[in-house]
Amino acid sequence: GSGKSTLLGLLGGVLTPRAGSITLAGTDLTALGAGARDRFRGDHLGFIFQMFNLIPYLGVLENVTLPARFSAARAARIPGGDVVAEARRLLAALGLGERDIESRPVTELSMGQQQRVAAARALLGRPTILIADEPTSALDTDARGDFLELLMRECRAQSASLLFVSHDVALGSLFDRVVSLADLRRPTEAAA
């Protein structure tokens, strides 16, 4: 493939490079052991996966509050320290403010609703970097536009960097900087 999964694995600290180093938010991930990389990932990175990776046996609110359970640093960055209130604020900001949705199993939600739950979970606790892997691939054009507007507004409000991966080149105009994986591979291919 294009190398997208490998790149995201490296940037997320899940994979380690054979050579070189990866520095995110001032931290050399290659100098960290596996446990320290896990802590760094939990403390500083929010992920929106292509298939959302929500926990099916948990309700919406429980899924959104997971980062605060696993990272004291993320919990500490929540304004006022109220994890549930912040989860509700994020859900409302992403168009899921109805209280009856909070306890519903995520398996009962539409794809668009699941995507917004995944975004709220990724944003909880103000991560330094938000990594979004094809988060709009299952949405129609109208829903995609609404979701991107909400996601980008929340990232700006939290001063979070957004690494957004997509095969849809039409989305490029929405971002300050666009990098093609094909362009990243060229120097390697030329040197070979």
Give the 3-state secondary structure of residue 175.
coil
Q: pLDDT tens track of the chain, all 192 residues?
A: 778 888 888 999 989 999 999 999 999 999 999 999 999 999 999 999 888 899 999 999 999 999 999 999 999 999 899 999 999 999 998 889 888 899 899 999 998 899 899 999 999 999 999 999 988 887 778 778 888 988 898 899 989 999 999 888 888 888 999 988 887 766 555 544
In the CATH hierarchy, which top-level class contains the domain 4-191?
Answer: alpha beta
Residue 188 has a pLDDT of 55
Q: How far apart are CA 12 and CA 187, in angstroms?
A: 23
Listed by start position, the domains of the chain span 4-191
- HEC sequence for 54-116: CCCCCEHHHHHHHHHHHCHHHHHCCHHHCHHHHHHHHHHHCCCCCHHHCCCEHHHCCHHHHHH
Residue 139 has a pLDDT of 77
Residue 182 has a pLDDT of 80
pTM: 0.87
Residue with tokens 């919990």: 75
Residue 186 has a pLDDT of 66
Residue 72 has a pLDDT of 96
Amino acid identity at 150: L
